[in-house]
A and B are shown apart, each in its own frame.
Chain A
Amino acid sequence: MKVPLSWLREFVDLPETVDEIRETMDDLGLVVEGVERVGEGLNDVVVVRVDEIHAIPGADRIRRVVVDTGAGPLEIVCGAWNFGVGDHVPLAPVGAVLPGGFEIARRAMRGVVSNGMLCSARELRLSDDHEGLMVLDELIAPRAGEPLLEALGMVADVVFDVSIEGNRPDAWSILGVARDLAARFGRTVRAPEVASPSPGVRSDSVAGAAVDAPDLCGRLTVSVLRNVRVAPSPAWVAQRLQRAGMRSISNVVDASNIVMLELGQPTHPYDAMQVAGGVIRVRRARLGESLETLDGVVRALAQPGRGLGDSGDDLVIVDGDDVVLGLAGIMGGATSEISAATTEVLLEAAYFDPMAIARSSKRHGLRTEASARFERGVDPELALHAVGRLVAVLRESVPDLEWLDEPLDVRGEIPTPSTVRLDVHDVSRSLGVSLPLDEVVTHLEALGFLTSPAGDEGLNIVAPSSRPDVRTGVAGRADVIEEIARLHSYRRLPRRTPSWPAPGTLNGRQRLRRLLRGVIVEAGVNEAWTPTLVSVRTFDLTHEGGTRITVTNPLAADESVLRPTMLTGLVAAWGENVDRGFVDVRLGELGTVFTHPEDTASPRVTRGGAGGRATLALPQEGEHLTVVLGHRDDDAISAVALWARIATRLDLDDVVVRSSTDLGPGIHPTRGAVLRDRTSGTCVGIVGEVDPELIVLVAGQSNRRLGVVDLDLDALVGLIAGEQTTRRAALPSRFPSAVLDLAFVTPDEVHAEDLRFTLRSVSPLVEDITLFDAYRGSTVAPNTRSLAFAVRLSSPDHTLGEADVASVRQLLINAARTSGAVLRS
């Protein structure tokens, strides 16, 4: 909201400095987002009369102009052509600094000295007009030598751009801001001049008002204004509107807007001749009705909307013939609009149910100055006061304006003022500081709350009708305390850092995330952030046939599906880096992937619907770590190696790498493996390579391999929680170890890891066993390979002798044989 300081000062005495006012407004929660100084830099600009215009030899764009400055003639070079001899225009003399900091100097052009600059309205920041000089004779009766500001009747002003919070409709007006400032500074608000109805003809003798939907229209007042003459507004009205960011249209419309800005009450003037029977009636629109609003759009009414619990209620204004005149509280129709010929006005000032206006406005995609105010809550007691103010403003241009006696005033359901019972202890319990009861009373009464003592240290409080945000009961207590704190100043409230016995912690999953992030970063992986919302095509690349979870109102069509995997995003990001010339890039992401509730055995079941009374199945959100290894020599083996590092750091030696051909789309079908816990059978992820087809489709690279590790954190978390409880420390032997190398010709169906586990358990003397070679080739039988293990033996109590070693060796060979593996000769 634009708040001109000059307007504000009419209602309350304020400090001199703009900074102090701004600070105070911020501290009251009326946040000043910008300060504009209007008319600043125009103090030196004067009105001059053009006396002579001469061509400059050799110049076809500029002319030599002689002006009368009131103190004598002056020569100026000027490039504008829209004026003639006798016209009055603004002159910025040498030395003047225009708004924006442009300093006028004496210049010579084509040998002619220019002693200043003749200005356009835009150069003076008075309007956007830059068609030529600002010719003043069109606006006022100017006199050469007069300061421009004086001639225009302007005062330099400051306009605050104030952000009014959604719960403060009372502050969304000049008077509302003045009220807050007055309360803070302990001043009184000067009420604006208000007219009274003219005694004589009663309104009900010529007009009617009716409310058929008292639940949605709490108050309807209809005033009859006679002797109206539609004309331009007085200069001060036009200027005020302009500074507040609105255009001047005509005296009637302007008066309505002035009142809305000043008091916060929207009003709607109708041409009485166009309203059958002079009757204004408010009712629900019927299904099938339509209305062409002032913006030229024909709107179907009473159509149920998409929003939760939206019944489709539209509130309309109809006349005596039941013709729809407008969408109540939002926008009028074209037929009954004020025109130059209007002489009698029916003026509607009403109170509508905020939620009804909000729903209607949202459904029709139509937000107006009026609807924005009604949906937040206009003061239901304000209507006729606002009309009185409107009449007073309009009388400046129409002195014989007549406001018929006893304006029509129909009441529907108006919210009853909230009542709150507050003890001083409540204030200290909430704010952490005791405020004396009399300070509390002072603050509240300054804001229009009524208070009366209740008990020794309590108050009964009634909220003013302008404060729909203040609730009743316990919630209202919080609302009232906010008001007290606001006026007291948040900055003056005490601070205390609370403490409690429970220590702060990260849980297992959070620690796991950090650990994983640490391992991949040490392994040369850059952490990426790829899109959560992907295209249908991207989804189908890896999950064709799956059920897509779509966003119904995406920002872009290719950002409409929740990602089922991070693989595609990472491959794409890798490809972009390759395209930039960075060919050795490893990327990883720890994030959420989504599965449609119909595609998972474990959808997330949660509360939903109106009031949270229904049960909804929502997507399963899986947390994964996905890493794409894209250095030039990376491949599936790199992926296994990365997993080995992770497994070591997670202390997971029971999780084995099991080749699998069924790793899902996107993974190379013959170069992948699942990571399975031998004990529980849980699959914690996969390792392998990205399917070459996917690399081509997503990254456009046809001769690169990409290793991939994809871990399911949900599975890992469970596994780690189990592991940690069983871990026991083993003390290394103090006696020397012996090392045995054994190679076994092993059938393809026997997994190396299984064989290793088998061998490890043959004797307590086996301290450690590692695979150090796998050989496949002509010297071993088909469908077998040779697996070579290094076996380290040790005993806790003696140095191993040859007999010990030989016996363990035999045990190892026997155990291998039971698995089908034969010692390689």
Chain B
Amino acid sequence: MSHDDESAPSSHVADQIAGHVADALAAVAALTSMQDLDERGGAIVGKRSALAVMQRSLAGLSPDQRRDVGARLQEARRVVEEAVASRRAELLASARTQRLEADRLELGDVVVQRRPWPLTDGHAGLVSTTQAQLEDVFVAMGYEVADGPQVESDWYNFEALNIPPAHPARGMWDTFYVGLGDPETVVLRTHTSPTQVHLMESAVATGTLPIHAVAPGRCFRRDTPDARHLAVFHQIEGLVVDRGITFADLAGTIETFTRAYFGADIDSRLRPSYFPFTEPSAEFEITCTICRGEGCRTCSHTGWIELGGCGMLDPAVFDSVGIDAEEWSGFAFGFGIDRCAQMKVGLSDMRALIENDVRFLDQFA
């Protein structure tokens, strides 16, 4: 058998296929709408299409020819199907464009007075309301309010606060690391304390000591959320750096704040604790707001509940921001805003705060 005998029908078939493909592509290009495509698509790529008909006629060919023609047909169908798919995308996009065009509205011409506003009231978030109330108490006590970033370098979140890399004390904060820079060098702040460092650095740089500030804000801890904790939460930090500040000032401040915010019958007390950035350090407890000190389940029958941490600024922190510990002294404190909110309204599951259910939100001011 000569080579020509085999190739002659093949080349004829090839022309035939090419012709079908050209026809099909022309038909695809002629489709003008999605409806068009739905109606005529079958004739182009479906069982009734010329290529499909040809496919079915392969049965009469020799095995070699069947393989050869079959492959060519397969390729031809792929080309046509791709063309249909891309036309479909074009038509969808153009249908969307048409829909959007039909929907077009010139907002510059809107006559606002024409739109009566329904008389429904919204509600501020429980946490932001609590934060504002806390801010107000501290502003009245002479504090400024400072903001700080949520993404921090290891330096601000830890090291400048006297928590060196790998220090076991880091176990106190379950940390989310951000994929920037070297591994584990950028974190979502685990507390508002880095704002202390920013405040002190900037006061040193601008020569504006003393500092009397509170810094509320969002913090993150890699801790599975439950009824009592959320991985994303809010803290408020207090910082005072001035001349002649003592532990008595700290204890008095906690007391004044506690009474101003929780009520005159709420007492506070301090007990020794450990934070790397304060020394002496203390945990502060307040009279249980549920039982008013009588003893109940919430306070494990002690009459006291833990609210936050505080202490005199550690000389090592002063050292890292360049403040002379012989001239200046100060204190810092911090506690959970969400926890204050929880205590005020007796919230039994913190997760309600992030579920945004209007039935929950509608309850508050």
Q: Which residues of A come within 8 Å of B, CB atoms?
A: 26-29, 31, 165-168, 306-310, 354-355, 358-359, 362, 375-376, 428-433, 471, 474-475, 477-479, 481-482, 485-486, 490-491, 493-500, 502-507, 509-510, 514, 517, 520-533, 549-555, 559, 562, 573, 576-577, 580, 582, 584-588, 590-592, 594, 597, 604, 606-612, 616-619, 621, 631, 636-638, 640-641, 644-645, 656-659, 668-673, 687-688, 693, 748, 751-753, 770-774, 785, 787
Interchain CB contact under 8 A, B124 and A521? yes
Q: Collect the chain A residues with CB atoms within 8 Å of residue B96's CB.
A: 693
Question: In the complex, which of the residues A475, A525, A529, A576 has the most CB atoms of chain B within 10 Å of its own CB atom?
Answer: A529
Q: Collect the chain A residues with CB atoms within 8 Å of residue B240's CB.
A: 498
Interchain CB contact under 8 A, B356 and A609? no
Interchain CB contact under 8 A, A354 and B109? no
Interchain CB contact under 8 A, A641 and B112? yes
Binary contact track B229-264/A, C-beta < 8 Å → 1, others 0:
001100000001010111111011101100000000
Interchain CB contact under 8 A, B224 and A555? yes
Interchain CB contact under 8 A, B107 and A636? yes
Q: Collect the chain A residues with CB atoms within 8 Å of residue B110's CB.
A: 636-637, 640-641, 657, 774
A498 and B232 contact, Cβ closer than 8 Å, known pairs A355-B167, A517-B128, A636-B107: no
Known: A552-B177, A621-B150. 15 other contacts (CB 8 A): A308-B165, A431-B246, A482-B272, A504-B144, A521-B122, A533-B232, A576-B355, A587-B356, A608-B185, A608-B186, A657-B108, A670-B101, A752-B109, A772-B113, A787-B109
Interchain CB contact under 8 A, B165 and A610? yes
CA distance A554 to B220 in the complex (A): 11
Q: Collect the chain B residues with CB atoms within 8 Å of residue A576's CB.
A: 355-357
CA distance A502 to B210 in the complex (A): 10
Interchain CB contact under 8 A, B107 and A688? yes
Q: Collect the chain B residues with CB atoms within 8 Å of residue A645's CB.
A: 117
A590 and B128 contact, Cβ closer than 8 Å, known pairs A310-B165, A497-B249, A670-B104: yes
Q: How many contacting A-B pairs (Cβ < 8 A)?
A: 369
A504 and B140 contact, Cβ closer than 8 Å, known pairs A510-B135, A670-B104: yes
* B66 adjacent to chain A (CB < 8 Å): no
A592 and B166 contact, Cβ closer than 8 Å, known pairs A308-B185, A433-B248, A497-B249: no
Binary contact track B181-195/A, C-beta < 8 Å → 1, others 0:
111111010000000
Question: In the complex, which of the residues B115, B151, B274 has the most CB atoms of chain A within 10 Å of its own CB atom?
Answer: B151
CA distance A777 to B311 in the complex (A): 72
Q: Collect the chain A residues with CB atoms within 8 Å of residue B154's CB.
A: 308, 608-609
Interchain CB contact under 8 A, A506 and B145? yes
Choose among B111, B149, B160, B231 the residue that contacts A604 (Cβ–Cβ < 8 A): B149
Interchain CB contact under 8 A, B274 and A308? no
CA distance A587 to B359 in the complex (A): 13
Binary contact track B327-359/A, C-beta < 8 Å → 1, others 0:
001000000000000000000000001111111
* B127 adjacent to chain A (CB < 8 Å): yes
Q: Of B43-51, B79-87, B313-321, which binds chain A?
A: B313-321
**Smallest Cβ-Cβ distance to A596: which chain B residue:** B180
Interchain CB contact under 8 A, B166 and A358? yes
Interchain CB contact under 8 A, A553 and B151? no
Q: List 7 A-B contacts (CB under 8 A).
A: A166-B169, A359-B166, A428-B246, A490-B251, A490-B271, A493-B270, A525-B122
Shortest A394–chain B CB gap in Å is 31
Shortest A36–chain B CB gap in Å is 13
Interchain CB contact under 8 A, A355 and B166? yes
* B6 adjacent to chain A (CB < 8 Å): no
**Smallest Cβ-Cβ distance to B324: which chain A residue:** A474
Q: Collect the chain A residues with CB atoms within 8 Å of residue B141's CB.
A: 497, 504
Shortest B182–chain A CB gap in Å is 7
CA distance A770 to B123 in the complex (A): 31
Interchain CB contact under 8 A, A29 and B272? yes
Q: Collect the chain B residues with CB atoms within 8 Å of residue A430's CB.
A: 246-247, 280, 312, 329
Shortest B191–chain A CB gap in Å is 15
A771 and B111 contact, Cβ closer than 8 Å, known pairs A308-B166, A478-B315, A631-B118: yes
CA distance A640 to B181 in the complex (A): 42
Q: Collect the chain B residues with CB atoms within 8 Å of residue A636's CB.
A: 105, 107, 110
* B103 adjacent to chain A (CB < 8 Å): yes
Interchain CB contact under 8 A, A27 and B271? yes
Shortest B216–chain A CB gap in Å is 10
State the majority secondary structure of interface residues on B. mixed
Binary contact track B118-159/A, C-beta < 8 Å → 1, others 0:
101111110110001001001111111101011111111001
Q: Collect the chain B residues with CB atoms within 8 Å of residue A491's CB.
A: 269-271
CA distance A555 to B174 in the complex (A): 11
Interchain CB contact under 8 A, B107 and A659? yes
Q: Collect the chain A residues with CB atoms within 8 Å of residue B171's CB.
A: 166
CA distance A502 to B220 in the complex (A): 32
**Smallest Cβ-Cβ distance to A428: which chain B residue:** B246
Q: Collect the chain B residues with CB atoms within 8 Å of residue A787's CB.
A: 109
CA distance A266 to B225 in the complex (A): 35
Q: Collect the chain B residues with CB atoms within 8 Å of residue A610's CB.
A: 159, 165
Question: In the complex, which of the residues B103, B169, B232, B255 has the most CB atoms of chain A within 10 Å of its own CB atom?
Answer: B103
Interchain CB contact under 8 A, A478 and B312? yes
CA distance A669 to B139 in the complex (A): 44
Shortest A432–chain B CB gap in Å is 3
CA distance A502 to B159 in the complex (A): 31
Interchain CB contact under 8 A, A307 and B145? no
Choose among A582, A608, A670 the residue that contacts B181 (Cβ–Cβ < 8 A): A608
Interchain CB contact under 8 A, B168 and A529? no
Choose among A433, A554, A618, A668 the residue that contacts B151 (Cβ–Cβ < 8 A): A618
Shortest A284–chain B CB gap in Å is 17
* B325 adjacent to chain A (CB < 8 Å): yes
**Smallest Cβ-Cβ distance to B164: which chain A residue:** A355
Q: Collect the chain A residues with CB atoms within 8 Å of residue B244's CB.
A: 429
**Smallest Cβ-Cβ distance to B253: which chain A residue:** A497
Interchain CB contact under 8 A, A485 and B274? no
Interchain CB contact under 8 A, B179 and A609? no
Q: Collect the chain A residues with CB atoms within 8 Å of residue B316's CB.
A: 471, 475
Shortest B258–chain A CB gap in Å is 11
Q: Collect the chain B residues with CB atoms within 8 Å of residue A306's CB.
A: 183-184
* B273 adjacent to chain A (CB < 8 Å): yes
A641 and B143 contact, Cβ closer than 8 Å, known pairs A490-B271, A612-B153, A616-B186: no
Q: Collect the chain B residues with CB atoms within 8 Å of residue A621's CB.
A: 149-151
CA distance A531 to B177 in the complex (A): 17
A671 and B147 contact, Cβ closer than 8 Å, known pairs A500-B210, A549-B178: no
Shortest A361–chain B CB gap in Å is 9
Interchain CB contact under 8 A, A29 and B232? no
**Smallest Cβ-Cβ distance to B100: which chain A residue:** A670
Interchain CB contact under 8 A, B127 and A608? no
* B25 adjacent to chain A (CB < 8 Å): no
Interchain CB contact under 8 A, A609 and B122? no
* B8 adjacent to chain A (CB < 8 Å): no
* B362 adjacent to chain A (CB < 8 Å): yes
Q: Collect the chain B residues with CB atoms within 8 Å of residue A376's CB.
A: 168
Shortest A481–chain B CB gap in Å is 6
Which 6 A-B residue pairs are closest in the complex by CB-CB distance? Answer: A432-B248, A29-B272, A608-B153, A432-B246, A165-B274, A482-B280
Interchain CB contact under 8 A, A498 and B252? yes
Interchain CB contact under 8 A, A607 and B273? no
* B282 adjacent to chain A (CB < 8 Å): yes
A531 and B354 contact, Cβ closer than 8 Å, known pairs A496-B249, A550-B179, A637-B110: yes
Interchain CB contact under 8 A, A526 and B155? no
Chain B stretch 186-210: residues in CB contact (< 8 A) with chain A: 186, 188, 210
Interchain CB contact under 8 A, A673 and B108? yes
Interchain CB contact under 8 A, B253 and A640? no
Q: Collect the chain B residues with CB atoms within 8 Å of residue A428's CB.
A: 246
Interchain CB contact under 8 A, B103 and A640? no
Interchain CB contact under 8 A, A493 and B178? no
A619 and B248 contact, Cβ closer than 8 Å, known pairs A307-B166, A551-B188, A640-B110: no
Interchain CB contact under 8 A, B361 and A526? yes
Question: In the complex, which of the residues B104, B280, B353, B355 has the most CB atoms of chain A within 10 Å of its own CB atom?
Answer: B280
* B106 adjacent to chain A (CB < 8 Å): yes
Choose among A498, A586, A617, A640 the residue that contacts B242 (Cβ–Cβ < 8 A): A498
